[in-house]
Structure 1
Amino acid sequence: MGKRVCDNCKGKRYVIFQKGKFARAIICERCHSVCDKCGGDGIIFKKGENNYTYANKCDCTMLKNRSVLFNEAMIPAQFAQVTLEDFQISHHTQEEARTNSQKFVDSYPIQERGLLFMGPVGVGKTHLAVGIIKKLTLEKGVSCKFVDFFHLLADIKEGYSGGKSDKEIIEPFVKAPVLVVDELGKGRNNEWESNILDQIISSRYNNSNELVTIITTNYTTRRDSTLSVTRTRATKNLLVSTKDKNYEKEVLQETLQERVGERIFSRLVELCRIIEIEGKDFRGLKYSED
């Protein structure tokens, strides 16, 4: 008879759940017994040369540390349960994107560039990005950060009232070994927003030998595929604070190069491998079924 798998964590030894705005991971209490090596202290004392006693971390602390890394990644609560394995495929580009995502995880930290997922709403760009950093934090112990660019802009504006500078707020994201920037291009794209984006991308570009960046965006490099987003749910999700329909239409018709500017786009191309994804809008299908 095989060993019974815990029905609470399915053998992973940790449980992921939603807490407030973010996904959280905790050690599974049902199957994680007190370590017989350290007695739960997390430290093992060993005698070395000259009868000196050395304190070493016990192996049992590894999972606790990885759970902390997961919690610090700031993954949105709605993506708490998504994985690379449960990614739905309706188009060959989605299959290729999932394969490349798994290869990215397997090869980390030996890779030259990050990933830039582009395509219309609902094809799984954020799903893949979250799936990657879930594996990196919980399976490889890599420090990662997730940030929705539009929400970051809102946090910076809110921080001004508390006397915080741009640099203070974006510093954790600039320095993260692996950073996911979700919804690149979202917002009004004014001079201030472009400057914030430039600070983040340029800082990571200058340290690209140590830092890896993953980007998701609804904007593509081809006008025909960018236009394909225009008449769907993108209009509702753009969150542009304007009643000017002509402005809204103009924004949606921009390519990524036009949206972020040639300087930033050039650096993105050097930082990331571009992966364009097509397929059904699974979020749209979900809403239509509700």
Structure 2
Amino acid sequence: MKSIRDLLNNPNMIMDSEALEAFKRQREAEERAMVERIMRENAAARQAKLQRIFDENSLIPPVLRKATFENYQPTNTELRVAKETGIEYAETFRPDESKNLLLTGDYGVGKSHLAVSVLKRLIERGFTGIFITVPELLTKIRSTYNRDSNHTELELLETIKAVDCLVLDDVGTENGSDWAVSKLFEVVDGRLGKHTIYTTNLDSVALEKKIGERNFSRLMFDTIPVVMKGEDYRRRGFGRGDQ
């Protein structure tokens, strides 16, 4: 083994040693870059898969696909306040500041219309969003139990958890089985710290009874209730099924 004195007396050997260290640093940098590239590619592939799940599960009913803030026409002060609340929510939305909305009121007053309008505005701003009814969501979860399913229950729940804004429409219309209540809790609990918009035709007492105290407590965390009462949109010809 060469001594330090030998290395100092042999400049060429010193240069070789420096070249070796430089080579090692270059290889390490290349390896780090390769690992980072692979991680980016894996993340991109995962995001693409999640996006396909988003597209599959963002099931806006045909009657609501043209819904916007502009064509929502409130007929009283309460509904005008609801519209203004929706617009403010969409325009001031920040992913790092958790805030939910609970739109509650009679059938046909435009709850789903406003929820879709908020979601569309957020997507225009570059955020991700899903609109889905609770019964349809539970059906989707059940479908993952089929061995021919293209994605797992975990992937579906992770997608629901990760999206910037989730609209859960028609909360309280699902059957009240223990399984349904448990899965709803998984979804709501997984959204803590995120942004979720809920719509329901039930008042607070009936909703708590329907979904259970634990679910109701989670649902109301960081949630602004917006009560909507007014004329039925369907009687004004907006379209059957709008809520």
TM-score by length of 2: 0.69
Residue matched to 2:165: 178
Q: Find out whether 1:215 has 2:198 as its counterpart.
A: yes
Partner of 1:156 in structure 2?
141
Provide the residue aligned with 2:231 in structure 1.
Answer: 280
Q: Is 1:79 the counterpart of 2:30 in the alignment?
A: no
Q: What is aligned with 1:143?
A: 128
1:213–1:271: 8 Å Cα contact kept in structure 2?
no
Aligned to 1:202: 189
For 1:111 and 1:166, the matched residues in 2 are separated by: 28
Residue aligned with 2:106, SS:
coil
Q: Does 1:123 align with 2:106?
A: no
- How far 1:159 sits from its partner (Å)? 2.6
Distance 1:174 1:284 in 2: 37
* Structure of greater Rg: 2
Structure 2 gaps, min length 5: 1-50
**Structure 1 residue 163 displacement after superposition:** 5.5
Alignment partners' CA distance in 1, 2:83 and 2:67: 13
The TM-score normalised by the length of structure 1 is 0.58
Unaligned segments of structure 1, at least 5 residues: 1-67, 223-254
**Counterpart amino acid of 1:136?**
L
Give the superposition deviation at 1:193: 0.3
Aligned match for 2:91, one of 96, 103, 106 = 106
SS at 2:168 equivalent: strand
Alpha-carbon separation, structure 2, partners of 1:81 and 1:152:
22
Letter in 2 for 1:200: V
Runs of 4+, deviation exceeding 4 Å? none
Pick the structure with more helix per residue.
2
Q: How does 1:1-290 map to 2 (within 5 A)?
A: 72=55, 73-109=58-94, 111-138=97-124, 140-162=125-147, 165-205=152-192, 208=193, 211-221=194-204, 255-286=206-237
CA distance in 1, matches of 2:201, 2:154: 27
CA distance in 1, matches of 2:79, 2:147: 43
Contact 1:185 1:259 in 2 (8 A): yes
RMSD across aligned positions (CA): 2.3
Change beyond 3 A, Cα 1:162–1:120: farther
Q: CA deviation at 1:185?
A: 1.0
Q: Distance in 1 between matches of 2:177 and 2:207?
A: 15
The amino acid across from 2:196 in the alignment is T
Deviations 1:147-190 (A, max 9, x none): 11111112222332235543233321121111110111112111
Deviation (angstroms), 1:105: 1.2
What SS class does the counterpart of residue 270 from structure 1 fall into?
A: coil
